[in-house]
């Protein structure tokens, strides 16, 4: 009995076991570092040459709605490849921070295999949802935002009372702690407002965030039901300007 208790204590001190989440973070970081968007590889050049290389890279691996719905064979795979491509250091670090904070507990609750298919499936569907709404757009869409938004949606259902540390710009970035059922719906509402004001030009794909968030919440509700919600320990998460 003492051995079991000691093992439980050690597991609690280590925190959630989330090899898939950490593997996804590592993969996204590796892909970014070796790509032209990081600016670290001199082979891509500099100035206008680097900008041209970035545009070509995003067009090859990102989702281009007009090409996707024209039936291009190459474009069929881009909803999956785009999940691992990011446009800038801010884009990458913001997404990976959210994935680290919310993904670990969600993965532990779902299990590694289910969480992997959940992440990839919801991420692809979120990108497809955005592409369908902007089917004539020639702009490239990249990033794990849709998949991470699905993780946020599932987290909200599974851990609604988890305490989230939030940095709110209109309160001078003071760290305040709120339950997830306050912070995450507020975040989703901001995405809704921003999506209504967004254009088809370059920028943040707020609609993909909304689609992913809705898919994640609905999946958790359908999969786990109302009797399996978890009252989680506090989970710190920065919330504010860096949106997935």
CA distance 88 to 137: 21
Written as one string, the DSSP assignment of 100-147 is: HHHHHHHHHHH-HHHHHHHHHHHHHHHHHHHHHHTTT----B-SSHHH
**Of 86, 91, 134, 209, which residue is the catalytic one?**
209
219 close to 118: Cβ distance less than 8 angstroms = yes
Taking the chain, what is the end-to-end CA distance rounded to the nearest angstrom?
Answer: 44
**Of 137, 140, 145, 166, which residue is the catalytic one?**
145
Instruction: Give 179's strand partners.
Output: 163
**145 is annotated as an active-site residue:** yes
Look up residue 150 and give its two tokens.
Answer: 């699905």
**137 is annotated as an active-site residue:** no
How far from chain centre, in Å, is Cα 25? Answer: 10
In sequence order, the 6+-apart residues with CB closer than 8 A to the CB of 5 are none
b/e sequence 63-81, b meaning 16+ C-beta within 10 Å: bbbebbeeeeeebeebbee
Q: H/E element holding 163?
A: strand 163-167
Instruction: Give 125's strand partners.
Output: none
Instruction: Show which residues are catalytic.
Output: 145, 209
């Amino acid at each position: 009995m003492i051995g079991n208790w000691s093992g439980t204590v050690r597991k609690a001190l280590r925190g959630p076991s989330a090899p898939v989440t950490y593997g996804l973070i590592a993969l996204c970081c590796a892909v970014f570092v070796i790509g032209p968007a990081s600016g670290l590889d001199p082979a891509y050049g500099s100035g206008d040459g680097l900008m041209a290389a970035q545009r070509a890279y995003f067009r090859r691996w990102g989702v281009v709605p007009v090409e996707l719905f024209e039936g291009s064979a190459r474009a069929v795979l881009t909803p999956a490849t785009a999940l691992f491509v990011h446009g800038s250091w801010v884009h990458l670090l913001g997404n990976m921070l959210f994935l680290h904070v919310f993904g670990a507990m969600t993965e532990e609750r779902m299990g590694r295999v289910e969480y992997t298919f959940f992440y990839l499936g919801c991420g692809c569907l979120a990108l497809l949802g955005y592409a369908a709404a902007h089917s004539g757009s020639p702009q490239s869409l990249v990033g794990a935002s849709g998949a991470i938004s699905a993780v946020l949606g599932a987290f909200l259902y599974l851990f609604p009372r988890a305490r989230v540390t939030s940095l709110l710009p209109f309160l001078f970035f003071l760290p305040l702690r709120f339950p997830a059922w306050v912070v995450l719906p507020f975040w989703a509402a901001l995405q809704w407002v921003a999506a209504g004001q967004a254009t088809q030009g370059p920028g943040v794909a707020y609609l993909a965030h909304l689609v992913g968030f809705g898919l994640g919440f609905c999946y958790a509700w359908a999969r786990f039901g109302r009797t399996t919600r978890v009252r989680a320990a506090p989970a710190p998460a920065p919330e504010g300007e860096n949106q997935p």
